[in-house]
Amino acid sequence: MEQALLIPTVAEKVFARDLVDGQQVETAFIVREVSRRSKRNGEAFLKLQLGDVTGRVEAVCWDDVDAVADAAAPGAVLIVRGAYSDDERYGATLTVRGARLAGDGEYDPQDLHECAPVPFAQMEADLRELIGTVQCPHLRELLDRLMAPDSTVWRRWSIWPAAKHYHHAYRHGLLEHSLSVAQGVSAMAATFPGLDRDVAVTGALLHDIGKIEAYEMEGDSIDLSGSGKLQGEIPLGYFAVRREIEAIAGFPADTAEALLHIILSHHGSLEHGSPVAPCTREATLVHAIDNLGGKLGSFDRLEKSLGDGERWSRFDRALDGSAYFARRDAA
């Protein structure tokens, strides 16, 4: 992290995961939650939740409350100065002595929030290159319409998260996930015989398109939308793609059905929310690589939460178990 000369230099990021009782800190945190409260004597104080990519820490600020309150909007990045204690009675708290908005050069965004490990521009370029390999003109037109830089779909799809918790639950996560699944599908189509690569790759790119309606994103906050809960991400995506297909003259019915079947069946089974189970090679393939990509994404997320020397993650609901990282140096 290159720093300007004079001014506020934060020697090094101190991570929430690594705080120990009694530690003095001056480091960057993102504000997750903030509320103004009153002590019994009537004086105001702030209760905050601060976070970085490794976790969260409860904080309280008794001093300079107004100034800190001005800076501490949810989502803002602060340089926080204070002391951490893991108190017998009150639990773990960071007592904030001062805080100010961080300048752009003062922190590395990847220290603060989970994000795609590849820059957006690179992902978009990889995506457009992959789309360029689709030979079927109708599938190509469908992708070109949905992924056109000025399309409504693209504007959401390209920045949306892929989930609320489990994997790729951050800005551009949907793009990152869809792209890697499609790349994996493309590679498998070269390994196993009998696959219609164009259908499979298009299905892989569009399989999660319903998430742009099923999720809402405000700042770093991701949640299911009302439509997501009442209609489900799969019907929403199915409707969007089928309506777009119907707007393309001459789109072959067979190809349409093959693609829609992938979107409808990509959760792999009824009990996971697909109204039909995969019954084509292409749908079987997209489901397998989507599932694999999601699990590997959970490994990525869990690895970041490990402390020094730890090899086992905590129990994780997405994996239904703990993850083990055998060779962390190599990871």
Which residues from 196-255 bind a second copy, rule CB under 8 A? 196, 199, 226-227, 229-232, 234-235, 238-239, 242-243, 254
Q: How far is the CB of 281 from a second copy (least distance, A)?
A: 5
List the interface residues with a second copy, window 19-78 (CB under 8 A).
21-22, 37-38, 40, 45, 47, 60
DSSP conformational letter for 162: S
Give the tokens for residue 308: 């020094």
User: For a second copy, which is the closer residue by CB, 88 or 104?
Assistant: 88
Spatial contact of 206 and 259, defined as CB atoms under 8 Å apart: yes
Rounded CA Rg of the chain: 23
The span from the CA of 95 to the CA of 250, in Å, is: 66
Size of the site for a second copy (CB under 8 A): 81
Between 159 and 318, CB nearer to a second copy:
318
With CB under 8 A as the contact rule, the residue among 277, 304, 305, 318 that binds a second copy is 277
| Tokens standing for residue 203 | 């299905």
User: In the bound complex, what is the minimum distance in angstroms from residue 185's beta carbon to a second copy?
Assistant: 10
In total, the chain counts a number of residues equal to 331
Binding map of a second copy across residues 149-188, x = CB under 8 A, - = no contact: -------------------------------x--xx--xx
84 near 22, Cβ under 8 Å?
Answer: yes
Is the distance from CB of 289 to CB of 313 less than 8 angstroms? no
Interface positions, 292-331, toward a second copy (CB under 8 A): 292-293, 295-296, 299-300, 303, 311-312, 319-327, 330-331
Closest approach of Cβ 90 to a second copy, in Å? Answer: 6
- Tell which one of 41, 135, 150, 191 touches a second copy (CB under 8 A): 191
120 binds a second copy (CB under 8 A): no
CB of 104 to a second copy, least distance (A): 27
Please give the C-alpha separations between residue 229 and each of 189, 212, 213, 272, 276, in angstroms, as whole numbers: 34, 13, 10, 14, 19
Between CA 316 and CA 243 the distance in angstroms is 38
Stretch that binds a second copy, among 25-33, 65-73, 148-156, 264-272 (CB under 8 A): 264-272
Q: Is residue 261 left, alpha or beta, with left meaning phi > 0 and alpha meaning psi from -120 to 50? A: alpha
Q: Give me 245's structure tokens.
A: 């297909």
Q: Which of 220, 290 has the CB closer to a second copy? A: 290
